[in-house]
Structure 1
Amino acid sequence: MRVAFVLGTTSGGTGRHVLMLTEGLVRRGHRVLVVGPRSVEEQFSFAAAGARFVEVAVSDRPHPGNDLRAVLAIRRLTREAEVVHAHGLRAGALAALGAGGRRGRPAALGAGGRRGRPAALGAGGRRGRLVVTLHNALTAGGLVGFVYGVLERIVARRADRVLVVSPDLGERMTRLGARDVRAAVVPAPALRPAKRTPEEVRDELGAGQRPLMLTIARLAQQKGLETLLDVAAGPWRERTGLPADLAGGPLFLVAGEGPLRAELEGRIRREALPVRLLGNRDDIPDLLGAATAVLTAARWEGQPLSIREALMAGKPVIATAVGGIPEIVGDAGILVPYGDVQGLRGAVRTLLEEPGAAETLAAAAARRGREMPGGDAAVASVLEAYGPQDPTG
């Protein structure tokens, strides 16, 4: 099968996911083309995984001239593909426009339950199936929200199948007219073993025996870090229920970089908050080993790698009940509504003060970590979504 992946600028989970699919498809004898910005090839090395990579500037923000060039390039490069699989809303909309004409017919089932031939491209021959995986939801409004809504409608009306990382995304795409919406299987790579002991990590941080609440996140609006700082600002020092060596309360660690660093640093400094911004780290397994729990206050998440890694490490999770988080966490953590500072603060207290709570959640986390789908399951899932191929194509 000839599969063309289309993706935009990414430095995180989307790129790793496409690389994993590329490796799995190539191992199975399929021919893979990856279309995207040069930066994604430099970071993920799709060519080294056996794919053909072609640079196309699929930017993360609208630009009429660049977008038109991208649409034309995608149309030309994917003409022979039996399946075009775009990742992300921007890439999905550009791939849909590049497909030409109206959406193909394969989603319309005949009396025998079999899918018909796709719509024709005209002289260029018929188009292959268009599959779009949506990895994120918009959490901003205004003009950005309006543009996002337009792109959603393009994908919903033109894609043959839409794969989503959370139920709310699926419900939205169905309301917008998508005819075939399915859950995406997004596995986490195996967690690397820690290189240092928890005690060594604590010594580096000067944490003593204080509980460590670890957040792994880009320092960006979606991650709800202002709420995290509100939680950290709680009256931890006034508590008398904690042992003397924990009287300072938990220490909040944030691993990641992003545009909000200066703003967050300023508030941490002004309010003397027990928060450390650690920057980008290549020792996440070490940090997980030392952490008491993983905490996220995000506005929205799909299937975040940080939470899946926490579960594989057997760490309890405290998180906002948004996007795909509840399905991933299950009984392995404490979930609260987004923006509920008191709820998050109370969840931390429950974990630290309620006898047996941390141990029970850790055991549940380890169990769910073992149940996480692997790369083979993800590849099998997309092959099913691609559907049977027409032998005349």
Structure 2
Amino acid sequence: MQEKSIGFIPINKPIVGEEEKRAVEQVLESGYLTDASYSGGKWVREFEEKLKRLLQVRHVLAVNSGTSALFTSLSALGVKEGDEVILPSFTFVSTANVIIALHAKPVFVDIKEDYNVDPAKIKKAVSRKTKAIIPVHLYGYPADLDEIQEIARSHSAAVVEDAAESIGAAYRGRQTGSTSEFGCFSLYATKVITSGEGGAIATNDDELAEKVRLIRNHGMVHGYDTRLLGYNHRMPELLAAIASVQMEKLERFMRARNKNAQYLTERVAGLRGVKFTQNSPDKSHCFYLYTLHLEKGREQVLTSLNERGIGAAVYFKTPVHRTPLYEELGYSKTDLPRTDEASKHVVSLPVHPALTETDLERVAKEFEREVSRLF
């Protein structure tokens, strides 16, 4: 077995350089490592302005994680006990956990062949109790926002986009996270851009933006004047400095991810039992993850690739409704056939910007070899 520490190609990795180091040093030298003011510190405001320009929205509010972005957004909408929030189960568990944390009820619905939530299933699940709908732009590929937003409008529900994986992706020419009540982003270490931990909330609604500013900072405006229930969801200046520099590199990162994904798509095109399904012409993928559907032998291929130093991975082997917690809460009997099927057949291959041409060739060659053994 090949040792993972020797020539191992990870599924994703943070890409930071001298610019990030200098920015962090400036924060350390300033003595202001964080800022508890209503508007945030210098670096927080700078990062927010850069993301606001990208998204073309009225407001961007930095927070300390993608989970905090979701929680704060739902809190600002007034989600509470007795409310329902519709979402896919084929996502990271935080999308559902924030609903439970607010004492509301997650309503899981099934996905389409592209792994994103199915608007037809949302339409069947929506009710007078529906407070919000959370489409997840899975792997960096946009969900069907126009249909979802129309369903939400017709039932007086809000749309909170889980854009944790999709910064830079676009739906019909509009950036994900920019056209709903809220767009929630993650800057976790392996995301398209990173600050180690971190997140951001985008909105065009002035009143909702005001609520977010309060909720992320203990409900305070001037300090010790709490006006509503809030928390410490602030982004520290140290993280904001990294995030601000990373924003300058986003376009370059996107070009590399798209180029690498295109190369792999061409290489796997003739393989039996392999499908790439996230390829609609009206959607621009950011390729946080490059994900394929294998007709059979997924675990065999995954194990063999990992043993040969390729960091292939599966997102997600266990849908949220089948995790121990949600089984205990009674969700395991939810009928989500496409979700269950996808969890058994998807595999993601590395396409991050740090890959060399030699790395890409190795990923493609090893994948081709393992798949060819199955058919």
Q: Give the TM bin, normalised by the shorter chain.
A: under 0.3
Structure with the greater alpha carbon radius of gyration: 1
User: Which structure has the higher relative contact order (CA within 8 Å, separation 6+)?
Assistant: 2
